[in-house]
Every structure is written in structure tokens, then in C-alpha cells.
Amino acid sequence: MANNELKKEIANALENNVLRGALGRFAQAYPIAREKAFTGYDFEALRDKVQEVKSFAANNIDEMIDQFEKNATARGAKVFRAANAKEANEYVKKVANDNNVQRIVKSKSMASEEILLNESLREEGMDVQETDLGELIIALAGHHPSHMVLPAIHLTKEQVADLFTDYTKKKNEPVISYLVKTARVAMRKKFLEADMGVSGANMAIAETGTLMMMTNEGNGRLTSTIPRVHVYIVGIEKIIPKFTDASYILKTLPRNGTAQNITTYVSMYTGATEAYLADGSKGTKDFHIVILDNGRRNMLKDQKFKQMFNCVRCAACINVCPAFQLVGGHVYGGHAYTGGIGTLLTAFLTSEKTASKVQNLCLQCGKCKEVCAGKLDIPEMILELRQKYTSETGLPFTQRFALDVVSNRKLFHSMLRIASVAQKPFTKGQQVIRHLPMFLSGLTEGRSLPAIAEKPFRDIFPTIKQEVKEPKGKIALYAGCLLDFVYPKIGIGVVSALNEAGYQVIFPKEQSCCGAPATYMGDKENALKSAILNVEALSSEKVDYVVSACPTCTHALKEYKILLKDNSEMLQKAEELDNKAFDFSKLITMLGGLEDKGDGEPLKVTYHDSCHLKRKLGVYQEQRDLLTNTKGVELVEMNESDRCCGFAGSYSIKFPEISGPILDRKIQNILETGADVVAVDCPGCLMQISGGLDQKSPQIKVKHTAELLLEKRKD
Amino acid sequence: MDITNNLYEKFKEKFEGVNGECHRVSTMESLADLMSDILTQKGVKTLSIFESPLSQASNLKEKLSGAGFEVHTDDLLSSTAHDDAGITEVKWGIAELGTLVQIAPEVDNRLCSTLVPIHIALLKTSSVLPELDDMLETIHSLPQIPGFVGFMSGPSRSSDIERILEIGVHGPEQVIAILVDE
């Protein structure tokens, strides 16, 4: 099964200390450097504009291509529209042959790697030299790029020194400045002897026929200046409407990609320029622009994937991805494109098979979406792919079985009740399971699992005395699996707080799993079953609001209207549910907050932002205010408070080897605060973080905000 | 005058921030002397000049030859491949970023500013524009977009090996900007 192959690749990558070190250091430095680069600039406003101009081009692609071709041709460029890789490669071969080209130099072009241009030209017996330092290095190593902007990040200077020693037949010391000099001297000769240059472009301006290249090393300028023939390979998504539109990309791409204010060089070519010809005289070079489709138009055909044209290839998404930071682009990517965006590009442009394998690595944490210069919803698109591949090939039997059980409320709840009894040998009377036996032992490595509660919340609820004088209204509590069967105390805290805010709480008993596990595993069928079940359950009685203390569930409840958009009977109820459903901290704040109260006992609390609460629901301040307004609480912020804890639902079961190190980093950040308690608003994060702390620093407790409020505010 | 000074100061700050070296002279007369000093200080013996209004008005070729430097103004393909430095005039500067902007459809202009290890750029101080957007608008309002427009923000660089920043890769290792007031 594809997953076995993937698991092996992951294991190899995780054992590669060089790779992990390099990626880890970059992950630490990047957010700080990026923030500095954007100081004084409005990132949100800029990326709104990037999205605007790129979508305009995407929506008018034929006009744009026509306009670009017309304007470039008028200035002496020869423009060729390549439908696919084969056509592009054939064309470039022809240009080379027609011009007696033997030696070719290349500056960076990912599109050329996508179509495997080098291989095609080498088959003709031509010499093809990558001149970009990183590309040169990986070409010598025989590797594919492990990162879109830093392709050789996985190699040490010692490894580069060895490669250069072989290449130059002279001993190269592992000193970076000497190695760079070696590259400079070796490439100089290549530039001066080259018959043809091949480059990629960052932008193609329809209005003027101009190509813009953003580079740092100078090889882009040399490749496009010295040879008498020059070819640009440009994907159709690079076209933007107007010359001044370039401003938005010039301002975001360098800052997002390498935290620079501007790349060292921005080279703008409009038409054919002057070059030295074969006979030594100066004349106009033979200038070609290959406009490449190769699957890009298929992105435009699908409403959900059209936004891919907004990508400026800055790789910021890769730079903040917790999974990528651990395994790198050779695992999380295709042969040309890497990371989250790389998975999507690979699906459309190079290999659906590879994409279907590597998309599994996405945690759905949403951090990439936050930094994307083109406002792409990368996690949403990956989920689309996941659902597509799941419906085509089906889920592995055990996963399918589990999801089928979960969407059957009576069966699921019976099994949980059985499990609460059967677990006793493993809990040994504790609230946690520290060691599962045999083949399940991996599940408790580095993280203890909580025991299933003896009495689920749904059984406790009827026993709760709600004393609400003059109730302002009624709120339905949606519990979700973890709160109901593992952490019922959170539910008690929620009821108490809502009572204090003046509301009566009801618990519709027909509710069951929200269906998120099915959704995130790509099982639309079971997700739909859960949607129908819960919409019915939650609209059985009229309420003012629906509260949930698990953001993943909250988000799921709000999204049922999308799952049920074709179900005319249920759609209205689903829309009503969206309007009424809120996460606990948000709802309490909306209802006017709570009185400043508290036992006054000093308690140092740090806060972990759950991915879905912060990035899907936009809630991150309300809970902090609730905590700081509780007498005795001292709130200290941790580093990377909104970085994923590694739980990511079923991900922590499918990829514990990735989930584990992500959790380790979260724990490290927690320990550095010196806090006594970690507050969270998600039972999933609670389970993950407390499981990790239980094995490493059990003196630090993890509590749901609702539970913490209950404990510190009760009289 | 004040605006020009402010723009110059901003440009200098940003240009130095990207490892550029920034100088200013008030007259064309003094340009050659300053140039001579800089070249001597950097151990330059041979250089290529892509002739331009500023280089000609300040008599750069004669004065530098007279000072003992080997100066090339033709056959620049072969001279720029070996010379210690190259001198070109650039059209504008962008204060916001410390960027030099050249209009260089001529191949020799590009060779003289890219192939050489030391690039010395001449620029009229009054041609420093405040922001990137001003530059794009200015280019856009020309009768047609020139065949080649090049933004250069300091010497060439790369972090491709272990993410350690190295200055001086394939393009110039040093970039000196001399802004001329006159």
C-alpha cells in the first residue's frame, strides 16, 4: 500500500540529523525574519491585491495569453504555446538544433524541472548546466530539490565540498566562502561558452509582453545576457494583467520567501535584446518564450482549485509547515514541487499517484493559509484531494470500519461503554493509560492516553442542578466525543459558566460524533451521515445558541450547511445551526463575559491556541481575557503559542512518528514559560499535551478553559 | 534640496543595508578623483567603462588612464571577463529599498554591471525616487518599456549552502554607488 512506502520514507527522513537540523534551524529563524521584513507593510492589504490581480488573470486567461503573446511578439520575441511537457521539450530541442546549440546554461526554472527539460536536451547530446548554486549542487548530487527556494538545504558544507571536489578534480575545503568561489569560477567558463540560455520567470505582464525574473546570485542576468539564444519557460499562471500589478508580487514574494525587502536583482525583459552573436558581432538574440499549460488549465476548470493560479511560488507555506519541517521536500513533495502547495501542483502537473500519497502528510493545521501571499486555502484544497482519492480508492479496512462505527450512534456509544470497562487492566486505576501492549505500544510512545470516563457526560448532565434566576434564554450543549466520554468535567464547567451568564442549558440526547474524523480522513459518506444526525438532534428543540467546547466540532457544526447544500429539506436547519453555533469562550464573551471573580490563589497559566479555534474560527483573544479576569491567574504567553500540538485528529494515530516531535516542541515551549498550568480550548489538544506532559513533566497540568474557570471561580 | 538630501540619506541607509557602498560628489570635476581613490583602495588595475553621459561629462576615461589604470571602453565582452571592475551609469535609484535601476538593452551595459567582480554605478542624485511604486510608474510612463530594465540592490548573494549568507556569487562581489549632484 502506498502508505507503507511513505512510512519508510518518513522514517529515513526523521533519522537524517543533517536534514532535521537544517530544517529545524530554518523553522526557528524564519518567522522572526519574516516579521521584520514586513514591518511597515500591510501584508493583508498586499495579499488581497495579489489575489485580485492573479484571479483576474485566471478568470480571463485566454485574453491574457493573447495579449501577452501579441505584445511580446511585437518586440521581437517568438512565443510558443505548449499544451504539455512533450510539446515544450520538442520546441526547445528544435530551437537548440536550429541554432547549432551544443552548450546550454540554465538559471532557475521550476517549470523546466517539472517537464524534465534537462533530460530531454541531454538525450540530444547537449551539455546542460544548472548555474543557480543550489540547483548546481543538487544536480551534482543527483538529487531532486528538497525545498522550492532552498533546494540544497538538506546538504552540509562537507557534502558540498565533496561534490565540488569530484566535479573540479581539485580538493575543495568545506568552507562556504571557498565553495561559493569554486562555483563562481566554474560557472564563469560555462556562461562565456554557452550557446543558449534557459530561464524561468516570476511574472509575465500581459499589458507589455514583459518577463520579470527575481533572483539573487547574478546567474539569471548572465544566463539571459551572454548566450546568443535565450528561452524562457513560463507557466500560464505567471501572467498578470498590468505592468504596475508587479508591485504586489515584488513586495510580497521576497519578504515571504526569504525575508528580504527585495531580491538582489529584478530583471525585466521586454522582447529580444542585444547579444553577441556566434561571429563576435553584436546583434539581436534569438529570443523565445514558451508558455506552458501542462495541466494548469485543469486547475481553472474546478471552482475549488482555480485559486491555485494565485500562487506566487514564495514557499512561505513550506516554511511554516510543521510536517515539512520534520521530513523535508523529498518526502513531502514530488520531483519538482514540495510541501503543501507542492502536493497540489504535483497532483495537477506531474503525478497524481505521488500527490495521493504525500497529501496524507498535511496536518490541516492551517498555518500555511495564514502566511500565503496569494490567499490560497491550501488545507481546504488538500482536503478536497484527500476526499477525491478516498472515494476513488477507498480507505484502508480498519479506518473504514472505525468511521462506519462512529457514524452509527447507538453502536458507537455501546462500544465506548464496553471500552470503559475493558480498559481497566491498562489504566491500572489511574486516569491515564501509559503503556499499551504489543502492536498498540506505539500509540503510547511519548504520550499517555486518557482513560475513558466511567460516567459519560450525557449521564452526568441530568444530575447537574442548574440555578438560573430569570433565564435570558436557552442554549443547547453539543458535547462531542472527547468531552462526552473522556473529559466530562469540561461539560460541567461549560454549564456552570453559561448558568452564570444567565442561560439554561439543555443536552439533546440524539447527538453523536460531529463527523470531523470522517471528513479529515476523506470519508464524505460518513461525514454526511453525522451531519444529518446532528442537525436533526440540535434542531429538535428551539434554542438561542448551540455551544461546543471543541473547536473542531464547532467548525464541523457550522459547516454542515455546506455538506447538506443539496439537501433542500435539511439545508435551512443547517444554516440555522451555523448561525447559532459558537465555541465556548466566544459565546461567553458574546453574552457579556463573566464577573471578575476568582479564588485569588496565584496560578501561572500559559495558553495554547488550537489550530481550529484560532485559524478556522478566528477566536484567540476572548479566552485570554476570560482567564486574565479570573483573580489569581497570571497569564504568560509561550513561544509559538499557535503552533500545532501534533494531535491533528486521526493524524496522531496514522503518523505518531511525526506527531511526536511536534508535541515535543510544544512541550519545550511550555516548559520555557515556567507555568503551572496550560490552558486550552480543545479537548483534542488537551489530550495530546497532557499525554505528553504526563510522560515528561507531570507536575504541569493541562486544563480546558471551561474547567479552569470552574475550579478557580467556585465559591 | 532638502527632499533630495532626505532621499539620498534614505537611499544610502538602505543601500548599505544590502552591503552596498555609497558615495556622493557635488561636481563632475571631483568624480574622477573620487573614482581614482576608490579604485586604488580596492586594488583595481584594469577596468571597463560603458560610456554614458556622466562618464563622458566627467572625462572619466582620460583621467583614469592618466592616473595609471588600464581602461577599456570597447570590446567589452572580452574585457569585462577579465577586468577588476566595471563602471556604468544607472538611470534611477529607489530610496525605499536601496536599489539601483538601469535601462540596459545594450549587451555591453549588462556585461559591465554583471560579469565584473566590482561594479561601480554612477547616478545623478536628483534621480533617486522615493518608492518602488514610483519607479514602476515611471517606467510604465515611458513611450515604451525598454528592452531591459534591471534592478540591482547590492552585490550578488546566496544562502543556498546551509542557509549561510554569502556575498558575491555569480554577479558582482562589491557594488559601489557614486551619486553626482551636478
10 Å CB burial of residue A275 (0-12, 13-18, 19+) is buried
Contact B162 A157 (CB under 8 A): yes
* Mean pLDDT score across all residues of chain A: 93
Higher pLDDT, A676 or A713: A676
**Residue A72: its pLDDT value, please?**
98
Give pTM, 2 decimals.
0.93
Contact residues, chain B, for A75 at CB < 8 Å: 147
Residue A2 lies in a domain: yes
Q: Is residue A51 a part of any domain in this protein?
A: no
| Cβ contact B81–A132 (<8 Å) | no
CATH number at residue A694: 3.40.50
- Say if the Cβ atoms of A225 and B99 lie within 8 Å: no
- In the predicted model, what is the mean pLDDT of residues A374-394? 92
Does any CB of chain B come closer than 8 Å to the CB of residue A473?
no
In a domain, A400, yes or no: no
CB nearest to B156's CB, from A208, A216, A274: A216
**Is the same domain home to A206 and A269?**
yes
Maximum alpha-carbon separation in chain B: 47
- Cβ pair B152:A219 closer than 8 A: no
CB A80 within 8 A of CB A288: yes
Q: What does the pLDDT average to over A540-558?
A: 96
Q: Round to whole Å and give the CA distance between A678 and A218.
A: 50
Mean pLDDT of A78-106: 98
Query: Angle A690-A382-A19 (CA atoms, 0-180°, nearest 5)?
Result: 65
Q: What is the dihedral of CA A383, A384, A387, A388, to 10 degrees?
A: -140
Interface test with B, best of A130, A177, A221, A279 (most B CBs within 10 A): A221
Å between B151 CA and nearest CA of chain A: 5
Cell numbers 534621480 correspond to B127
In a domain, A302, yes or no: no
Q: How confident is the model at residue A442 (pLDDT cuts 50, 70, 90)?
A: low
- Domains identified in chain A, total number: 4
| A610 and A679 belong to one structural domain | yes
pLDDT of residue A1: 43
- pLDDT-based confidence at residue A396 (cuts at 50, 70, 90): confident
Q: Is A223 on the interface with B (CB under 8 A)?
A: no
For residue A139, the number of C-alpha atoms closer than 13 Å in the C-beta half-sphere is: 20
**Residue pLDDT, tens place only, A113-139:** 999 999 999 999 999 999 999 999 999
Higher-confidence position of A591 and A407: A591
Residues A270 and A96: their CA atoms lie apart, in Å, by: 21
**Are A259 and A323 in the same domain?**
no
Q: What are phi and psi of A304, to 5 degrees?
A: -75, -25
Q: Which amino acid is at A256?
A: N
pLDDT confidence of residue A441: 58
Contact between A217 and B163 using a beta-carbon 8 Å cutoff: no
Residue A424: the pLDDT is: 73
Residues A234 and A337 in one domain: no
Q: Name the 3-class secondary structure at A156.
A: coil
Contact A75 B151 (CB under 8 A): no
* Nearest Cα residue in chain B from A287: B147
> B155 and A258: CB-CB below 8 Å?
no
With respect to residue A404, please indicate whether it lies within any of the assigned structural domains.
Answer: no
Cell reading at A554: 464547532
Q: Which residue of A has its CA nearest to B151?
A: A266
Whether B107 sits inside 8 A of A276 (CB atoms) is yes
> Does residue A338 share a domain with residue A215?
no
> A181: which residues sit within 8 A by CB, 6+ positions away?
none
Smallest Cα–Cα separation from A218: which of B1, B60, B94, B158? B158
Band of residue A304 on the pLDDT scale cut at 50, 70, 90: very high
Verify that A151 and A186 share a domain, yes or no: yes
Question: Is pLDDT of A682 > 90?
Answer: yes
Q: Specify whether A242 is located in the same domain as A347.
A: no
Closest CA of chain B from A187, distance in Å: 8
Is residue A80 located within the same domain as residue A169? Answer: yes
Task: Answer yes or no: do A258 and B159 touch at CB < 8 A.
Answer: yes
Q: Which of B136, B162, B166, B167 to mutate to test the interface with A (most CBs of A within 10 A)?
A: B162
Query: Domain span at residue A324?
Result: 1-40+315-392
- For residues A19 and A114, state if they share a domain: no
Percentage of residues of chain A with pLDDT beyond 90: 81
Whose CA is closest to A554, among A497, A613, A630? A613
Whether A264 and B152 lie within 8 Å, measured CB to CB? yes
Q: How many residues does chain A have?
A: 715
Show the cell assigned to A705.
Answer: 478553559
Confidence at A395, pLDDT banded by 50, 70, 90: confident
Residue A433 has pLDDT above 80, yes or no: no
Closest chain A C-alpha to B54 CA, distance in angstroms: 23
Q: Which of B107, B115, B162 has its CB closest to that of A156?
A: B162
- Helix, strand, coil abundance in chain B, percent, nearest 5: 40, 25, 35
- Distance (Å, rounded) from C-alpha A536 to C-alpha A548? 16
| Residues sharing a CB contact under 8 Å with residue B149, sequence separation 6 or more, in sequence order | A267, A268, A270, B101, B102, B103, B104, B139
- Tell whether the model's pLDDT for residue A174 goes beyond 90: yes
- Domain contains A92: yes
From B115, B146, B163, residue closest to A270, measured CB to CB: B146
Q: Please indicate, yes or no, whether residues A113 and A5 belong to a single structural domain of this protein.
A: no
pLDDT-derived band of residue A431, with 50, 70 and 90 as boundaries? confident
**Same domain? A28 vs A88:** no
pLDDT of residue A437: 59
Residues lower than pLDDT 70 in chain B: 1
Confirm if A658 and A326 have CB atoms less than 8 A apart.
yes
Domain end (from A528, A558, A590): A590
The verdict on residue A56 lying in a domain is no
Kindly determine whether residue A225 and residue B166, on different chains, have CB atoms separated by under 8 Å.
Answer: no
In this structure, are A508 and A574 located in the same domain? yes
Residue A359 falls within a domain, yes or no? yes
Q: Is the pLDDT of residue A405 over 60?
A: yes
Indicate if the pLDDT at residue A439 is higher than 60: no
Cβ contact A221:A194 at 8 Å: no
Window 181-200 of A, Cβ < 8 Å to B: 183-184, 187-188, 191-192
pLDDT level of residue A438 (50, 70, 90 thresholds) = low
CATH number of the domain enclosing A484: 1.20.1050.140
For chain B, the structural domain boundaries read 2-180
Is the ipTM value over 0.95, yes or no?
A: yes
Residue of A176, A243, A244 with shortest CB distance to B166: A176
Taking CB atoms and an 8 Å cut-off, how many pairs form between chains A and B? 161
State the DSSP string of A547-595.
Answer: EES-HHHHHHHHHHHHHTTT-HHHHHHHHHHHHHEEEHHHHHHHTT---
Residue A295's pLDDT band, with cuts at 50, 70 and 90, is very high
Asked whether the beta carbons of residue B160 and residue A151 sit closer than 8 angstroms, the reply is yes
Q: In what order do the strands lie in the sheet with B92-94?
A: A239-240, A203-205, A210-215, A265-270, B148-152, B99-103, B92-94, B128-129
Is A315 touching B (CB cutoff 8 A)?
no
A75 part of contact set with chain B, CB < 8 Å = yes
Tell me which residue of A123, A144, A275 sits closest to A197, measured CA to CA: A275
Q: How far is CA A87 from CA A82, A103, A188, in A?
A: 5, 21, 31
Task: Give the cell for residue A442.
Answer: 506505539
A463, A482, A457, A461: which is closest to A681 by C-alpha? A482
- Among A544, A562, A590, the domain boundary falls at A590
Nearest CA in chain B to A283: B107
The CATH class, in words, for B2-180 is alpha beta
